[in-house]
Structures are given as C-alpha cells and as structure tokens.
Amino acid sequence: MNDFCMGILMKSDTGIRIVSRMGRKQVVSSRQSSAGSKQARLFSLCLLISNFILVSCVGNQATFQASKLEDKTKAQFQPAPGARAAKFIFTDSASGSFSPPAPGGNLIHPAIRVFNADGSLLSSGGPTGSGWPLWITKVEIGVSGSANPSAPNGDCARFATATESATKCDFSGSGLPQNFNQLCGAPSSIFRISEYDCVSSAGTLDGNGGPTDGVYVRIGLNRAALADFENFSLTIEYSASSLRPAPADPTQCFTASGIFNPANPNCSDFAWQLYLKQATNSVVQPFLLLFPPFTGSVNPTTLTSGTSVHSRQITLPVAADSSITEIQLSRTRGMPVSAQYTATCDDPSSPGANSPLCVGLILRSLTLFRM
C-alpha cells in the first residue's frame, strides 16, 4: 500500500519538474512549497484509505476463521442424543423405580422404571423398554433375605413395610421398655438399611465393591451411547444416622501406619464407598467414601437422631477412562453389636430392630446428570 501511495506522489512530482524546465523558476519555486504540503496531505490520505482497506480485509478473514473454528468446536463437543438426566426413586411402589421383591430377598433386584429429574415418568419398561435411556444398561440393588447369601437377614436391607414407620427406639440408651418412645423406622415402601439387623446375626458380609456384595447399588453404563467428553453428576437423596458422633480424637480415623481411613471401627459406625469399575466382576480401589459423614447421630440429651433428609452431589469423571462401565455404591462395614447398641436401637417388644434412623441409611433417590 505504501508503494502505491509513493507512485501517486512521483506522478505529482513529475508535473512540477516539467514546469521547472520551462524556465518559470519563480512560479515553480512558489508552487513547490504548496506542492510539498499537498504531497503530504495526499500521502496521508492515501495511507488512511489503504489502512482502512487492509484492516477490513484482515478483520473479515479473522471473522471467517473464527466462525470456522466455532463450527468445528461445536461438532467436536456435540453431546450424544437422548435424555440428559435419569432419576431412580428407591421405593417398590408404582411411583418408584422398583417392583416388590420376592419374600426371600434378591442378590440382584433390578429397577424397572426411570424418571426425569423433575420426578415425571420417563420409561416404565426396564432397560429394553421404550424411552429408557440408552446410556444406562441397568440399575440394580441387593435386597437381603434367604435368597441373598451375602446378606441373609431379611430385616437388614429391604423396602420398609406398611407398619415400619411406627418403630421406636430409646435414644436415652437406658434399655428400659417404657423408654422406647422415639420414632426410628422408615416410611412405607422406601429402601432402607437397618444396621442393627445387618450385624445382629451372622452372614452379612462387609463389601469390597465386588460382585458378591450383598448390600449395594449398581449402575451399568453404555459408553457407546455417550460422547467421549461426557462426565456425570450424581445426586443422592438420603438420611444417614449413627449411634456415636464423629470422634473427638481424630487419630481414631487413621491406621497404625498413619493412613487416613474414616471407615475405621472407632471412627464411624458403618461405611459405604463408591467404586468406578470396568465390569461387574471387577474389584478396584474405592473412588469415594460416601458415608460417613452422616446426617446426624443419636443424642441422649435431645433424644434425636439423624432423621433429616440430605442431598449430596458428586462429580464422576468417567470421560478420563473409556473402560469404566459400572458405578457401584457398596456397604463396606458395620459396627458389631454392643450392650449400648442394643439398649438404644432394638425394641425388645418387637421382632427385629428395623431401626434405620437409629443406626442406618434410608436411600430416597439417585439421579445421574450427563455433563
């Protein structure tokens, strides 16, 4: 552009020199000053116009390139089609995700209904039904009973009966029959784990995230139905109560070698952990400790326990490993029966403790969000 402007000035300068050769030196001399000023203005105007043209061209090219990059990025990070969320409601009623199990329980009890995040029904036909999210191959739980060899006590992990909400405990810990006045049962039809019943008789195994865990929640993933970059946000609604509060001495939560382990017997009454797995038969290191923390503990002064409902949200970075096809939540440890445990959570007037809100867990819902 500068060469172009210099060419224009050379043409103007040539004209002036012609006048000079004609002998009109005085006129030329007087015009040279004005011509110089004119040349400067002409040169500046030419540069202004050329720069405007250059900026316009570069700007248009940059806009074009940015548009191409945006289109490429959108195509690269386009999520897979289908439902963006799936909610499973842990009841065995028509408004929940599960059917009533057989009387003897079930080591593998599948979900047959899935809901949208707002609670409206998404599909009721199981994993092969119309509308079921293609990226979920299964959701199953362990229901205790004679058909579940890893959790044979039928009162350990099951859906609450119609009368179970009336179960009472003695949060003062006196053990006197007349002091069993505090409600500690679960609402009808909801899935609950009564820890006292899990440990009061032999047979309930501590889980390790593997295929033989008796008390668990397992979710299967179809990675082919998900984009490579997609992760999950897992939201759990629950109530979790313990007999003892968190220890005042934090060293109780460390192993002898100094490794932090909140599942230590003196650190918590029971523990659940979350695993990200490649297959049902896989046994891997836990990804996250779910419980503790608890929503509360038995308080002999206020006569309360962990009855409040909490919501916990967890990010699952499955995009980092395309081989992950299962998410498993497993009960990994319980607290042995003691005199204080019995005096607080086991009403002598009724068979079975059935007291998840003394020590135990109530699972209300689990929602997976693709992100």
pLDDT tens-digit map of 69-116: 555 455 566 888 889 999 999 999 999 999 999 999 999 999 999 999
Question: What's the pLDDT at 79?
Answer: 80
Tokens of 281: 């038969």
Q: In what helix (H) or strand (E) does residue 272 lie, and over which residues does it extend?
A: strand 271-277
Question: What's the pLDDT at 80?
Answer: 86
pLDDT in tens, 107-125: 999 999 999 999 999 999 9
- pLDDT surpassing 80 at residue 311: yes
Residue 132 CA, distance from chain mean position: 20
Three-point CA angle 36, 37, 41, nearest 5°: 115
Q: Is the dihedral of CA 61, 64, 70, 75 positive or negative?
A: negative
Question: What's the pLDDT at 22?
Answer: 41
**For residue 310, what are the contacts with CB-CB under 8 A and spacing of at least 6?**
237, 238, 239, 240, 295
pLDDT in tens, 130-163: 999 999 999 999 999 999 999 999 999 999 999 9
Q: What is the mean pLDDT of the chain?
A: 87
pLDDT in tens, 257-267: 888 887 777 88
Instruction: Choose between 230 and 7: higher pLDDT.
Output: 230
Q: In what helix (H) or strand (E) does residue 271 lie, and over which residues does it extend?
A: strand 271-277
Distance, CA of 125 to CA of 350 (rounded, Å): 38
Average pLDDT of the segment spanning 289-310:
95
At 24, is the pLDDT very low, low, confident or very high (cuts 50, 70, 90)? Answer: very low
